[in-house]
Amino acid sequence: MATVVDSPNKEANKSALANKKVTIVFVLGGPGSGKGTQCGYIVQHFGYTHLSAGDLLREEMKSGSENGFVIKDMIKEGKIVPSELTIKLLEQAMLENRNDKFLIDGFPRNEENRAAFEAFTGIEPEFVLFFECSEEEMQKRLLSRNQGREDDNIETIKKRFKVFMESSLPVIEHYEAKGKVRKIDAARPILEVFEAVKACFTRGDIKVNQL
């Protein structure tokens, strides 16, 4: 289980998640690396609740709120939404769910996201699933999935991949230094990828580190 530690912030600024004692696995990978598909299998086999940071942001965007308009503009530009906004959406989703095991898909997107999440919640992930896939393969998948998302066009895809490479790799390196990263070759067929994923959830040597 992810370790909950005391935060240096005042009590009023602490997340209520500290009392829920949740287990969190971050799921990272470039756009089109297959994170969502694999999360579906993990939910079925291991009982986690899947929270997609991107889906939560898109739901907020559709709500017509002021924050929703900000999110819409940033997503169109392939930019990263402010940490505070995303963390609050994730916190609300976890507090409203009765489960205590969560896959957080597509977050943290950068080091600032990571630091802000850990500072606010006092929680560090049990481990990080990192789906490795070439830009060419991810681009082919995104253009062929035909889900009607307005960010599935060649120009925005290239922007998203560039942002991912520049911003997310430092997060991977941070957790890799702590022995928390489980790298997955995501270019393989779906079921082969899941066999590798299953091994990550059944390993007996996973260590839980305090912040």
145 marked as binding residue: yes
179 marked as binding residue: no
114 marked as binding residue: no
62 marked as binding residue: no
The residue type found at 125 is P
37 marked as binding residue: yes
160 marked as binding residue: yes
80 marked as binding residue: yes
122 marked as binding residue: no
Peptide bond into 108 cis (omega under 30): yes
203 marked as binding residue: no
188 marked as binding residue: yes
149 marked as binding residue: yes
35 marked as binding residue: yes
108 marked as binding residue: yes
Task: Quickly tell me which residue has 């950068």 as its tokens.
Answer: 110
**DSSP string covering 6-74:** --SS-GGGS-THHHH--EEEEEEE-TTSSHHHHHHHHHHHH-PEEEEHHHHHHHHHHTT-HHHHHHHHH
98 marked as binding residue: no
107 marked as binding residue: yes
40 marked as binding residue: no
CA distances from 67 to 51, 81, 94, 151 (A): 19, 10, 20, 18
Largest CA distance in the chain: 48
Annotated binding site for a ribonucleoside 5'-phosphate: 58, 79-81, 106-109, 149, 160
Annotated binding site: 32-37, 58, 79-81, 106-109, 113, 145, 149, 160, 188
Annotated binding site for CMP: 113
